[in-house]
Amino acid sequence: MHELVENIAICVEKGKINKQSPFPQDLKDQDGSDELTVTALAQGVKPSEILEGCMLGMERIGKKFSENKVFVPELLMAAKAMNVVMNHLKPYFQSGEVKRKGLFIIGTVTGDLHDIGKNLVSMSIEGAGWEVIDLGVDVGSDKFLNTIADYPNSAVGLSALLTTTMVNMEKIVKEIKEKYPQTKILVGGAPLTQEYCDKIGADFYSPDPQGAVNYLNTVAG
């Protein structure tokens, strides 16, 4: 792996956004993911290689998060460092030079306005090389179904943080499966369990973002 690409991976993993960023302390006054990506592109490093570095950094922090070695603030900083890289790579995605692994639609279900968990999953999956369409919060069946119609062969993620909105999740899963039986549906949220996932007919449940990334990568493969 190119040295610049490995350094980008380190910056994403540690949440080092740019040279001015004081976090983390051990990378103070060093270039962050922003400057390193600009330098790498200027030196002719392939955008696809830079994306691989970004994905590697997100995979490392995701694994630490799932093992409770880091927590939400560190994951959010990593996602910010990742977003900076993605902004530089956007023209290459749009031109088709860099290919996405697939498309992922995500939203918090009807009646639920919580978005931190959804956002963490969204950022982690984007960092893993997927295109993400985030529908936001309080999303009903119609919006999911219309978006799936616009983007066939996409996977779908449903989030719920309230026990009272879990019934809405069940309804949405049922309606998606009735109309698009081949669509893979991932569910998550604090009150959810694998047992509930099985009960409502969803395809996958994970208590952390990295689990969702790993599952989607197997679907893409």
Distance CA 145, CA 141 (A): 6
Predicted pLDDT of residue 146? 98
Distance CA 162, CA 4 (A): 43
Distance CA 204, CA 83 (A): 26
Looking at domain 3-95, its CATH architecture is Orthogonal Bundle (1.10)
Are the beta carbons of 175 and 185 closer than 8 angstroms? no
- For residue 216, the one-letter residue type is L
Phi, psi of 203 (to 5 degrees): -90, -30
Going residue by residue through the chain (221 aa), what tens digit of pLDDT does each one get?
789 999 999 999 999 999 999 999 999 999 999 999 999 999 999 999 999 999 999 999 999 999 999 999 999 999 999 999 999 999 999 899 999 999 999 999 999 999 989 999 999 999 999 999 999 999 999 999 999 999 999 999 999 999 999 999 999 999 999 999 999 999 999 999 999 999 999 999 999 999 999 999 998 75
Predicted pLDDT of residue 131? 94
Terminal C-alpha separation, the chain: 22
Predicted pLDDT of residue 45? 97
* DSSP designation for 30: S
Q: Report the b/e string of 210-220 with b at 16+ CB within 10 A.
A: bbbbbbbbeee
Question: What CATH code would you report for 103-220?
Answer: 3.40.50.280
pTM of the model: 0.89
Predicted pLDDT of residue 220? 72
Domain ranges of the chain: 3-95, 103-220
Predicted pLDDT of residue 221? 55
- For residue 73, the one-letter residue type is P
Are the beta carbons of 108 and 114 closer than 8 angstroms? yes
Helix (H) or strand (E) segment spanning residue 134: strand 131-134
* DSSP designation for 76: H
Predicted pLDDT of residue 1? 74
